[in-house]
Amino acid sequence: MITDVHTHFWTPDHQGSPWSDGLQRVNRKLSEEEIDRVTLESYTQRVAPAERTIVFGLQALASGIVVPNDAIADFVRKVGGHTVGFMSVDPTRHDACDEIERCHAELGLQGIKLGPIYQGTSPLHPLTLRVFKTAERLGLPVMIHQGAVFASAGRLADSVALLLDDVAIAFPDLRIVIAHMGHPWIYETVTVMRRHANVYADTSAIPSRPTVLANALVAAKEYGVLHKVLFGSDSPMVSAESAVDGLHKVVTQTRRHGYTAITDEELHELLHRPAFELLGITDPVTEPALDLAPTSS
C-alpha cells in the first residue's frame, strides 16, 4: 500500500499576495492542472496510485495564505477512506497552541504542518518552540517545510535543515518529517536524520529536480537513513503518479551514472513504507483498503 504523506488542500479564497504571486513561479511540468485550487474530484485523481494520504493546508500570515483547519477537517470527511488531516498553525499567532489543542480534540486532526520561513519566523524562535513542545506533549507528528521556498517571506538562513538538530535535541520524542528532503540542503537533512531516531524526510516536490532527488536518495543510503525516507508527492503541484514515475527514473539514473545504486527492493520499500505506523497516525480504515482512484464510467 502506497502512502502519500504530503498532499495539500486549498482554494483561491485562502490565498493572497505574496503567496499567490510566487505561486506562478512553481514548476508545473509534473502537474498539468491548476495548482491554486483543490476539489474532491481533482484530489482523488492526483493522489492515485496512493491508497493512504495525509492532507493539510498552511497558515502563514507573512506569506498571505491561511487555510482554516475546519476546512481541512471537512475535506477529510468528504474524501473518507485512508485519508487523515494535519492542522497548520502560525507560530506568530498568540493562540497557536490553543488551536492545536482544539484541532486535536474537536476536529480529529492528527499532526501539524509548519513552514517557519513561510511564516516569517525560525524553528528556533520561542514562539515556534512552544508549538513543538505542545506537539510532543500531545504525541502529534510535525511536517515542517525547512528548505527553499518560492515566496518572498522569511529568511533563507532560518530554513536550513541543520537548525532542526537543536529542535530534535530539545524534543527527543517529537516525530518530525522534513518536507522535500530539505532541498537544497539535502546533506544537512540526512545528517540530522542520522542523529535522531524520530526525524524523517519525504520525497515531495523534488522529482521535478531529478539530480537533487538522485543525490538526496544516494546520500540517505550512504548515511544509513534510506529507511526513514517517506514517499510524498506535493499534490497538486506534483501528482502522485508523476512522483512515482520520477522516482523510478531517478533510481535508474543511479545505476547508469556511477552513483551508489538504489535497488528495486529499496524503491519498493520506500513507496510502501508504513508511514502512518512510523508517525503514530491512526488509520481511519483498516479493512478493506479503499482505492482513491476515480472509477471509469
Superfamily of the domain at 3-279: Metal-dependent hydrolases (3.20.20.140)
Q: What are the extents of the domains in the chain?
A: 3-279
pTM of the model: 0.92
Cβ-contact 83, 122 below 8 angstroms: no
How far is it, in rounded angstroms, from Cα 187 to Cα 206? 14
Give the pLDDT confidence of 232-259 residue by residue, as tens digits. 999 999 999 999 999 999 999 888 876 7
Q: Average pLDDT for residues 60-89, to the nearest whole number?
A: 97
Per-residue pLDDT tens over the stretch 2-61: 999 999 999 999 988 877 776 666 655 666 578 889 999 999 999 999 999 999 999 999
Residue type, 100: I
Given a cut of 70, whether residue 275 has pLDDT beyond it is yes
The 3 state secondary structure assigned to the chain is CCEEEEEECCCHHHECCCHHHHHHHCCCCCCCCCCCCCCHHHHHHHHCCCCEEEEECCEEHHHCEECCHHHHHHHHHHHCCCEEECEECCCCCCCHHHHHHHHHHCCCCCCEEECCCCCCCCCCCHHHHHHHHHHHHHCCCEEECCCCCCCCCCCHHHHCHHHHHHHHHHCCCCCEEEHHHHCCCHHHHHHHHHHCCCEEEECCCHHHCHHHHHHHHHHHHHCCCHHHEECCCCECCCCHHHHHHHHHHHHHHHHHCCCCCCCHHHHHHHHCCCHHHHHCCCCCCCCCCCCCCCCCC
* 65-66 and 59-60 strand pairing: antiparallel
Give the model confidence (pLDDT) of 164-217 as tens digits.
999 999 999 999 999 999 999 999 999 999 999 999 999 999 998 999 999 999
Is residue 170 within 8 Å of 151, Cβ to Cβ?
no
Q: How confident is the model at residue 152 (pLDDT cuts 50, 70, 90)?
A: confident
Residue 26 is predicted with a pLDDT of 64
